[in-house]
Structure 1
Amino acid sequence: MVRLFICFIFFCSSLSLSAQGLFAISGQVKDKKGETLPGAGIYLSGYTTATVTDNNGKFTLPALKPGSYEVVIQMMGFLPYSKSILITDQSASFTAILSENTIQLQEVTIKADPNRAKNLKLFLEFFIGRTPNSAQCKLLNPQILFIEDDRKEGILRVSTNDFLIVENKALGYRLKYMLNLFEYNFNTRIIYFSGLPVFEDLKGSGSKRKKWLQAREIAYAGSPQHFFQSLYKNQIQQEGFILYKRVKTKNPDRPADSIIQAAKERLVKRIHGPLKAGSALADSLSYWQQVQQMPAENVTLDMRGVQTDTLIKTAGPDLKTINYTDELYVLFTPEQESNTYSSSGHYVLRPLTIPNYQISVIRMLKGPVGFYANGGMRDSRALLYEGFWAYEKIGDMVPMDYVPLAK
């Protein structure tokens, strides 16, 4: 069964990349007693921008374009703090009050969990990924994870009250991720997580940095971030994307699940003793089992191409929305699917006429969905990814301020 992935949120999206005035976000960091906190780390979620508070607990993040940002603050001994800031035509300022992290400050007794190692492995697979880049990632502090395996609901939940630290030696980043929520549904096989990522460049030699730049370029190309940036600029074809429409309709030859189940139960009640092969009862039961295996939906691919201007509307000077009813079938033509991907469980069927391009499917769960010039999304649970975009996760992520190399 194909795994699906609900797009995770970056919580920050620079609304405009056009030539406009630059502004700043400034503020002061204090504890609940009113004492200022020098040395606190100040970050913009999804970006490489960062600073620290001075001796008076004050900070400034300068040279910011108008947009929506999520400021993330980290201080040893305190819970991580985040604040949404919208910059339109003037700079913004706020005071952050941090709460002590009592779990760090006191000894905690953790119950032994015989399934922790197995569930941690699942979490790493679904959070960091199983790509070649993900294989070069390491979670440095797995001990801070709270893992709940709710078999009654069929959901694996993971949370934390501090930053996860992921070292990505493939892309040259040290990722600090404030995980708000992670859920994996064992029944639907849908993965969802959201949080606040902060990027730091790893130190390396000139040859290493050159290798990282090349790897980052490949990771960015064809990603959701790249796609929505191209969509915002109305340049998807120039950037190598092709859009088709995948249509699902109810299979008229397959009865409803309730009818199938009722028929099987009636037949099972008639069984007394061993079931003879070839008997009318055995044949009837076999028939309904075959009917149950029939697809509930018929899937067709409309290859006439999608006109993006029929999907996109301008919602404001720096915000656009996308809305549609069927599924978008996205081809990225400059890159092909690898054998590693094809055997990962994410493979999407294609007509024989389509070459081995990377394919992703976008299902809209709740529309319209707002998106910004840098590819940032407004609603983390509005889109469901299938295919290549569901395959790539944290291990292939680049910052929202990543600038691709000039062609």
Structure 2
Amino acid sequence: MVKKLLLNFILITCISLYSFAQNTYSITGIVKDKKETLPGASVFISGYKIATSTNSEGQFALPKLAPGNYDILVQMIGYLPYSKNIIISDKSINIEVLLTENTTLLNEVVIKPDPNRAYYIALFKDFFIGKTPNASECKILNENILGVDDDIPNSLLTIRASDFLLIENKALGYRIKYLLKNFEYNYRTKIFYYAGLPSFEELKGGSAKQKKWKKNREIAYNGSIQHFFKSLYANRIKEEGFVINKLGTIPNPGRKPDSLINATIKRLTSGQSGLNRVITFNGSDSLSYWLKQRNEPKEINILIRGDVLIDTLVKSFNADLKQMNYKDALYIIYKNELESSSYNSSGLKQSRPPDLANYQISVLDLMVPPVLFYANGGIYDPRSLLYKGYLAYEKVADLVPMDYIPTTKK
């Protein structure tokens, strides 16, 4: 009897270990240039605290990875930064990394100096690092690797980096290596866009600093994009403090039909012979009224109160991914934190009903459907969504790693 129970225990243990092994995989590989393998190269997984370096034969291993979408980053002094996207589904992956010597990008920065560089770098930091309270304790340590291109005819500012940006965040206790893929700011439309791959390393500090960082990390994580999608995947939206409404659109009832607007403006600006008349107006006459009508939006937003049912919004895509597809924008309310005074003056604040408290409000517009996301809150294609409101306010200064685990139970 004892032998039988022991055998059953061994079988159960073996099955459990086998199941666990089947659900975790590794990314291995070799790093080289055109001549030889490269020992001592740093290898990271973007968004995580996972890092290693190549051995004497240029080989590396990143074990115990759950199925998901990973960006592998490789850094070696004297070589251009390297990144490769890898999707793990049901097996481990082996890659070959070929690094290219960094011999030209520095010269490009020297060839094209810009007297307005200090202004542009400050502008870049506002949009990239952010303007939250944490941003005041966040510093880029190697601004000299940033190159500026001001395309005046197209009103487009482009910032590039010849290597990983080194960012020290003393508010959250992280040193971040950030591979900047793209940064563009159109100063005519006031629209900016940036994309890149961060890797995290914890700073060292005494007990007082560790306590401060622990508290600040939890605040930064709460209500974040990662927190929202992690809660959405686990169907714990309500328990984690989120409320999802819809932001629909309806025809603007205060705007006349285009046919009437255009016909009236044509009549008021043309003589009997069809020739245009020279007209002066003071803003209160008929022509001013109809010109304002033409500038009125054809549609206006309307908040559809009532919680969106997660079962109807989120569907399974495969064993590792869930998907979300919708038409009207999502109106996200995070009730566990209030909007800060610095956010209120940021210009990003969203409209809200008078009865809604000063909770954090964000709007999610779907750009490339569907949105695919993982259990850790990672999004398969970040270009799928456009964020407005509080989620657009928090930037690099408020990032925590994808493997961050909050300690406070709600």
Partner SS state of residue 380, structure 2 = coil
Residue 401 of structure 1 and its aligned partner are, at CA, apart by: 0.7
Partner SS state of residue 102, structure 1 = coil
Q: CA 1:277 to 1:180, structure 2 compared with 1: closer, same or farther past 3 Å?
A: closer
Amino acid of the structure 2 residue aligned with 1:192: Y
Q: CA 1:176 to 1:248, structure 2 compared with 1: closer, same or farther past 3 Å?
A: same
User: Any conservation in 1 of the 2:168–2:174 contact (CA below 8 Å)?
Assistant: yes
Q: CA 1:267 to 1:139, structure 2 compared with 1: closer, same or farther past 3 Å?
A: farther
Name the counterpart of 2:11.
Answer: none
Residue 185 of structure 1 and its aligned partner are, at CA, apart by: 2.9
Amino acid of the structure 2 residue aligned with 1:227: F
Q: Using structure 1 for the length normalisation, give the TM-score.
A: 0.87
Once residues 325 and 290 of structure 1 are traced to their aligned partners in structure 2, the CA distance between those partners, rounded to angstroms, is 29
Deviations for 1:194-240, whole angstroms, at most 9, x for unmatched residues?
Answer: 11111111111121011101100000000010000000011100100
Q: CA 1:283 to 1:173, structure 2 compared with 1: closer, same or farther past 3 Å?
A: same
Residue 295 of structure 1 and its aligned partner are, at CA, apart by: 3.7
Residue 173 of structure 1 and its aligned partner are, at CA, apart by: 0.7
User: Any conservation in 2 of the 1:244–1:305 contact (CA below 8 Å)?
Assistant: yes
Name the counterpart of 1:321.
Answer: 323
**Mapping for residues 301-380 of structure 1, pairs under 5 Å:** 301-380=303-382
Once residues 254 and 396 of structure 2 are traced to their aligned partners in structure 1, the CA distance between those partners, rounded to angstroms, is 41
Name the counterpart of 1:75.
Answer: 76
Which stretch has the larger CA shift, 317-326 or 49-58? 49-58
Q: CA 1:74 to 1:292, structure 2 compared with 1: closer, same or farther past 3 Å?
A: same
Deviations for 1:322-364, whole angstroms, at most 9, x for unmatched residues?
Answer: 0000010000001001111111100001001111100000010
Once residues 257 and 150 of structure 1 are traced to their aligned partners in structure 2, the CA distance between those partners, rounded to angstroms, is 36
Once residues 93 and 345 of structure 1 are traced to their aligned partners in structure 2, the CA distance between those partners, rounded to angstroms, is 47
Once residues 159 and 262 of structure 2 are traced to their aligned partners in structure 1, the CA distance between those partners, rounded to angstroms, is 37
Residue 249 of structure 1 and its aligned partner are, at CA, apart by: 2.4
The percentage of aligned residue pairs carrying the same residue is 52
Q: Using structure 2 for the length normalisation, give the TM-score.
A: 0.87
Structure 2: give runs of 5+ residues left out of the alignment: 1-18, 271-275
Name the counterpart of 1:62.
Answer: 63
Residue 267 of structure 1 and its aligned partner are, at CA, apart by: 4.0
Amino acid of the structure 2 residue aligned with 1:88: S
Name the counterpart of 2:405.
Answer: 403
Partner SS state of residue 211, structure 1 = helix
User: Any conservation in 1 of the 2:264–2:290 contact (CA below 8 Å)?
Assistant: no
User: Any conservation in 2 of the 1:77–1:104 contact (CA below 8 Å)?
Assistant: no
Once residues 261 and 371 of structure 1 are traced to their aligned partners in structure 2, the CA distance between those partners, rounded to angstroms, is 50
Which stretch has the larger CA shift, 219-228 or 289-298? 289-298
Q: CA 1:57 to 1:347, structure 2 compared with 1: closer, same or farther past 3 Å?
A: same
Name the counterpart of 2:286.
Answer: 284
User: Any conservation in 2 of the 1:264–1:288 contact (CA below 8 Å)?
Assistant: no
User: Any conservation in 1 of the 2:372–2:380 contact (CA below 8 Å)?
Assistant: yes
User: Any conservation in 1 of the 2:265–2:291 contact (CA below 8 Å)?
Assistant: no
**Mapping for residues 5-404 of structure 1, pairs under 5 Å:** 21-33=23-35, 35-103=36-104, 109-254=110-255, 263=265, 267=269, 270-271=277-278, 275=280, 277=282, 283-292=285-294, 294-404=296-406
Once residues 263 and 387 of structure 1 are traced to their aligned partners in structure 2, the CA distance between those partners, rounded to angstroms, is 37
User: Any conservation in 1 of the 2:114–2:148 contact (CA below 8 Å)?
Assistant: no
Amino acid of the structure 2 residue aligned with 1:376: G
Partner SS state of residue 293, structure 2 = helix
Amino acid of the structure 2 residue aligned with 1:350: R
Name the counterpart of 1:5.
Answer: none
Amino acid of the structure 2 residue aligned with 1:323: N
Once residues 139 and 297 of structure 1 are traced to their aligned partners in structure 2, the CA distance between those partners, rounded to angstroms, is 42
User: Any conservation in 2 of the 1:77–1:105 contact (CA below 8 Å)?
Assistant: no
Q: CA 1:374 to 1:114, structure 2 compared with 1: closer, same or farther past 3 Å?
A: same
Residue 32 of structure 1 and its aligned partner are, at CA, apart by: 1.0
Residue 170 of structure 1 and its aligned partner are, at CA, apart by: 0.5
Once residues 122 and 276 of structure 1 are traced to their aligned partners in structure 2, the CA distance between those partners, rounded to angstroms, is 40
Once residues 281 and 404 of structure 2 are traced to their aligned partners in structure 1, the CA distance between those partners, rounded to angstroms, is 67
Residue 261 of structure 1 and its aligned partner are, at CA, apart by: 12
Q: CA RMSD in A?
A: 2.5
Structure with the larger RCO, 1 or 2 (CA within 8 Å, 6+ apart):
1
Partner SS state of residue 118, structure 2 = helix
Q: CA 1:147 to 1:250, structure 2 compared with 1: closer, same or farther past 3 Å?
A: farther
Once residues 77 and 31 of structure 1 are traced to their aligned partners in structure 2, the CA distance between those partners, rounded to angstroms, is 11
User: Any conservation in 1 of the 2:68–2:374 contact (CA below 8 Å)?
Assistant: no
User: Any conservation in 2 of the 1:264–1:285 contact (CA below 8 Å)?
Assistant: no
Residue 396 of structure 1 and its aligned partner are, at CA, apart by: 0.5
Task: Decide which structure has the larger Cα Rg and report it.
Answer: 2
Structure 1: give runs of 5+ residues left out of the alignment: 1-17
Once residues 240 and 204 of structure 2 are traced to their aligned partners in structure 1, the CA distance between those partners, rounded to angstroms, is 31
Once residues 84 and 332 of structure 1 are traced to their aligned partners in structure 2, the CA distance between those partners, rounded to angstroms, is 32
Partner SS state of residue 402, structure 1 = coil
Residue 105 of structure 1 and its aligned partner are, at CA, apart by: 7.7
Which stretch has the larger CA shift, 51-60 or 124-133? 51-60
Partner SS state of residue 95, structure 1 = strand
